[in-house]
């Protein structure tokens, strides 16, 4: 095993190139070809937009931003689901050197307020009335915020109107002033203390990893008329990165899907050749296929086919020859099962790519075994999304692949993965101390994750140093603020939030004996009720629920505690759940109460 690896090669980004250059280069190559498909009137209805049309819309929006007074380096927020207007405004901001400060469409008003103020946002654009009202409710507490616009209220048309007095020459002069090392975006990500940190990413950061994608995954991103249906939030670097890859390729088409309510019909009508998702998306597809098969004869066939697919993939990975029986079964299962599962993702699907959270290897082997290579990668907001990725011709399941050409990984003495490359961010906004902590003395980024590197440079993630939870849906959640709010309940001793790799956030709660003894009589209950009995009382659950609700009010639904379990036991030094200084040891809690987590918090859930 290695302790350090650098992928051979280099990625070149000129000093005068920006994200907007991806679009202008594409216009010169294929100005009349379709680059965007926007869903407009409902499932199955797509509006094709050529590269030239998209470019014109970007320039019109950029002129409007200039007319509004947005200067180079000014911050503008997009508070929106994934949609066509997001892409137009993102490229318009990049063109004039403004800083895109996206907010997750699920963020609360208080979360949005903190981001708006920390980055001194001057203009905020929401997609619909509900999110517009969320911003409007905090507008008076955001002194830098001058105006709100709404996409559903024709924000693009308003910007076009603002910009009629801005000449092409003025716009082109602004575009020419923007350079590769200028700030392109500030993306806020949860930190170990719970306070979100704004990661500052430059145009060069994104351009370097986009071009690395073309070198590392040409079969998926570039070859044979690639089509991407994008439904992950563009506020996340993962989705934004692949948007840039598609628009900057020779003939890629990206479809913007605002929601997944009609995902299967949209997949059939759009016909993607590759699909980007988080583990939960691919779990749902698998589970839906299993449920449709049922528990009878068809269910048994599906179970056998799934097991055969996983075995086929593992044999392929190990270089083992397939038995005559396996080959014969595969022909049968292809007709009965595999073709149908692939078809659910669209009739032209060739690849699936998963990131944002760890993926169950069994699931990856299933997809590979039915003929859909599952590309996996690893990265952070601080690396403009991907840093390592498996290749189509070197797709070792269980690893997250090798770094981009010219980029390096190493393992520190404590097992932490550290990385270095052109896509590593320049620091946290307004947080010089946190920036200094993020880097080693010799300039490597500390990831906070534990890993190993094999002899060919493939990285395997083995654990996490930090407490940040990543759900199966790819949502980063800081547990500490939630735990602190729940622990304010007078009968709670400790609260530990769980949910890493799970479909939702849950919590384990222990009772405080002294607080409980004082509280029980006020509710007509015996003060000496044993902890195990008290943990089952509806009144106890109702009391704690009030504090869970308060905690949930401070975060988005994706970060909220959906279910909690009151334990009849306490965290102690004896069971290793507390340190001598009485701090909770999170890994020990997860280990000691694993059965409770599996069978009570997530009963029946993958």
pLDDT digits 0-9 by tens, 563-588: 999 999 999 878 889 864 467 888 88
Predicted pLDDT at 185: 98
Question: Which pLDDT belongs to residue 311?
Answer: 96
pLDDT tens digits for 470-485? 899 888 887 878 998 8
Note whether 272 and 226 are within 8 A (CB): no
pLDDT for the residue 358: 75
For domain 19-178+225-273, give the CATH superfamily. ANL, N-terminal domain (3.40.50.12780)
- Determine the pLDDT at residue 606: 45
Task: Inform me whether the pLDDT recorded for 193 exceeds 60.
Answer: no
Alpha-carbon dihedral sign for residues 394, 397, 399, 401: positive
127-151 pLDDT, tens digit per residue, is 999 999 999 999 999 999 999 999 9
pLDDT computed for residue 195 by the predictor: 64
Q: Is the pLDDT of residue 502 over 50?
A: yes
Q: Look up residue 590 and give its two tokens.
A: 């997860």
Is the per-residue pLDDT at 202 higher than 50? yes
Please write down the HEC assignment for all residues of 309-334: HHHHHHHHHHCCCCCHHHHHHHHHHH
pLDDT band at 604 (very low <50, low <70, confident <90, very high): low
Question: What Å distances lie between residue 414 and 417, 463, 468, 507, CA to CA?
Answer: 9, 12, 19, 29
pLDDT of 580 = 47
Tell whether the model's pLDDT for residue 191 goes beyond 60. Answer: no
Q: In this predicted model, what pLDDT tens digit does every residue of 365-374 receive, in sequence order? A: 999 999 999 9
Total residues found in the chain within this entry: 606
Buried b (16+ CB within 10 A) or exposed e, 410-434: bbbeeebbbbbbbbbbebbbebeeb
- Find the mean pLDDT for residues 96-121: 94
Which residue intervals of the chain bear CATH 3.40.50.12780?
A: 19-178+225-273
Give φ, ψ of 227 to 5 degrees. -130, 130
- Provide the CA 229 distance to its chain's centre, in angstroms: 16
Q: What are phi and psi of 505, to 5 degrees?
A: -90, 135
Pairwise pLDDT comparison (79 vs 192), residue with the higher score: 79
- pLDDT in the model for residue 318: 93
Residue 276 binned pLDDT confidence (cut-offs 50, 70, 90): very high
Q: Which of 293, 302, 282, 271 is nearest to 367 (CA)?
A: 282
pLDDT at 40 > cutoff 90: no
Residues whose CB is less than 8 angstroms from the CB of residue 582 and which lie 6 or more positions away in sequence, other chains included: none
Residues ≥6 apart with Cβ < 8 Å to 290:
299, 302, 303, 306
Q: How many CB atoms lie within 10 A of CB 503?
A: 17
Q: What percent of the chain has pLDDT over 70?
A: 97
Residue 330 CB contacts under 8 Å (≥ 6 apart), including other chains: 308, 312, 322
Residue 44: predicted pLDDT: 74
Please say if the pLDDT value at position 182 is more than 90.
Answer: yes
Q: Nearest CA to 94 among 179, 197, 160, 157?
A: 179
Q: Could you tell me the pLDDT band of residue 605, with boundaries at 50, 70 and 90?
A: low
Q: Once rounded to an integer, what is the mean pLDDT over residues 182-209? A: 85
Instruction: Report the chain's terminal Cα–Cα distance, integer Å.
Output: 32
Whose CA is closest to 498, among 381, 599, 587, 575?
587
Q: How far apart are CA 287 and CA 533, in angstroms?
A: 37
Is it the case that residue 562 has pLDDT exceeding 90? Answer: yes
- Where helices occur in 390-445 by DSSP H, the ranges are 432-438
For residues 497 and 483, the answer to whether their CB atoms sit within 8 Å is: yes
Residues 6+ apart with CB under 8 A from 501: 279, 357, 358, 470, 471, 472
Q: What is the pLDDT of residues 19-38, one digit of tens each?
A: 999 999 999 998 889 999 99
Average pLDDT over residues 255-278: 91
If residue 441 lies in a helix (H) or strand (E), which one and from where to where?
Answer: none
**Whose CA is closest to 475, among 411, 557, 414, 413?**
557
Residue identified by tokens 């405004």 is: 89
Query: pLDDT digit string (tens) for 303-339?
Result: 999 999 999 999 999 999 999 999 999 999 999 999 9
The CA–CA distances, whole Å, from 535 to 568, 570, 576 equal: 6, 11, 21
Average pLDDT score over the chain:
93
* pLDDT of 467 over the 80 cut: no
DSSP state of 427: E
Class at the top of the CATH hierarchy for domain 478-601? alpha beta
Q: How confident is residue 3, by pLDDT bands cut at 50, 70 and 90?
A: very high
Two tokens at 13?
């980004």
Quick check: 531 and 568 in contact, CB under 8 A? yes
Q: Which residue in the block uniquely carries the two structure tokens 């994750």?
A: 449
- Compute the half-sphere exposure of residue 254: CA atoms within 13 Å on the CB side of its CA: 29
Could you read off the pLDDT of 350-395 as tens digits, one per residue? 999 998 777 888 899 999 999 999 999 999 999 999 999 999 999 9
CA atoms within 13 A on the CB side of 147: 9
Of 41-50, 56-65, 418-427, least confident by mean pLDDT is: 41-50
42, pLDDT greater than 90: no
Strand order from edge to edge, sheet including 46-50: 46-50, 34-39, 253-256, 227-230, 274-277, 351-354, 374-380, 385-389, 402-403
Quote the pLDDT of residue 281. 82
- What's the average model confidence in pLDDT over 396-406? 96
Q: What is the pLDDT of residue 101?
A: 98
Q: In Å, how far are 336, 376, 582, 584 from 570, measured between CA atoms?
A: 51, 39, 12, 11
Strand order in the sheet with 561-566: 492-498, 505-511, 561-566
**CATH 3.30.300.30 residue ranges for the chain:** 478-601
pLDDT for 192 equals 34
**What is the CB neighbour count within 10 angstroms for residue 389?**
25
Report whether pLDDT(90) > 60.
yes
Per the structure block, which two tokens stand in for 540?
Answer: 């106890």
């Amino acid at each position: 095993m290695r302790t350090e690896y650098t992928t051979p090669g280099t990625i070149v980004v000129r000093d005068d190139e920006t994200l907007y250059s991806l679009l202008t280069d594409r216009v010169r190559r294929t100005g009349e070809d379709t680059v965007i498909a926007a869903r407009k009137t409902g499932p199955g209805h797509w509006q094709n937009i050529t590269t030239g049309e998209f470019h014109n819309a970007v320039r019109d929006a950029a002129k409007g931003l200039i007319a509004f007074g947005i200067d180079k380096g000014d911050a503008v927020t997009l508070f929106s689901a994934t949609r066509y207007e997001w892409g137009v405004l993102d490229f318009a901001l990049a063109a004039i050197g403004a800083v895109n400060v996206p907010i997750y469409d699920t963020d609360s008003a208080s979360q949005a307020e903190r981001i708006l103020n920390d980055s001194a946002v001057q203009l905020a654009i929401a997609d619909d009335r509900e999110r517009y009202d969320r911003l409007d409710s905090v507008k008076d507490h955001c002194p830098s915020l001058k105006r709100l616009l709404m996409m559903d209220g024709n924000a693009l048309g308003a910007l076009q109107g603002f910009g009629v007095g801005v000449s092409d020459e003025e716009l082109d002069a602004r575009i020419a002033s923007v350079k590769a090392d200028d700030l392109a975006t500030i993306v806020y990500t949860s930190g170990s203390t719970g306070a979100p940190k704004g990661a500052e990413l430059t145009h060069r950061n994104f351009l370097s990893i986009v071009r690395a994608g073309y070198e590392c995954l040409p079969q998926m991103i570039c070859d044979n008329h690639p089509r991407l249906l994008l439904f992950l939030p563009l506020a996340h670097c993962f989705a934004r990165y692949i948007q840039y890859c598609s628009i900057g390729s020779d003939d890629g088409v990206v479809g913007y899907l605002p929601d997944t309510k009609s995902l299967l019909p949209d997949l059939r009508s759009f016909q993607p050749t590759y699909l980007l998702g988080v583990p939960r998306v691919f779990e749902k597809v698998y589970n839906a296929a299993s449920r449709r098969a049922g528990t009878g004869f068809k269910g048994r066939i599906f179970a056998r086919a799934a097991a055969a697919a996983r075995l086929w993939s593992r044999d392929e990975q190990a270089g083992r020859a397939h038995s005559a029986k396996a080959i014969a079964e595969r022909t049968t299962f292809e007709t009965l099962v595999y073709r149908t599962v692939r078809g659910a993702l669209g009739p032209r699907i060739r690849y699936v790519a998963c990131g944002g959270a760890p993926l169950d290897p069994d699931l990856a082997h299933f997809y590979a075994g039915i003929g859909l290579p599952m590309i996996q990668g690893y990265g952070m907001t601080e690396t403009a999304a991907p840093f390592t990725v498996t290749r189509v011709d070197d797709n070792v399941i269980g690893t997250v692949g090798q770094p981009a050409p010219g980029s390096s990984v190493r393992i520190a003495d404590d097992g932490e993965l550290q990385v270095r490359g052109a896509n590593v961010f320049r620091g946290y906004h307004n947080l010089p101390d946190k920036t200094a902590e993020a880097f080693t003395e010799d300039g490597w980024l500390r990831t906070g994750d534990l890993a190993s590197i094999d002899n060919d440079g493939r990285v395997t993630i083995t654990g996490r140093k930090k407490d940040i939870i990543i759900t199966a849906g790819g949502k980063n959640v800081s547990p500490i603020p939630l735990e602190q709010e729940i622990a304010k309940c007078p009968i709670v001793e400790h609260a530990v939030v769980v949910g890493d790799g799970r479909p939702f956030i849950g919590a384990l709660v222990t009772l405080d004996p002294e607080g409980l003894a004082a509280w029980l009589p006020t509710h007509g209950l015996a003060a000496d009720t044993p902890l195990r009995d008290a943990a089952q009382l509806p009144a106890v659950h109702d009391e704690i629920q009030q504090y869970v609700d308060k905690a949930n009010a401070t975060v988005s639904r994706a970060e909220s505690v959906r279910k909690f379990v009151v334990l009849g036991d306490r965290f102690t030094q004896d069971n290793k759940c507390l340190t001598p200084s009485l701090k909770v040891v999170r890994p020990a809690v997860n280990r000691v109460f694993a059965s409770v987590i599996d069978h009570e918090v997530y009963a029946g859930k993958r």
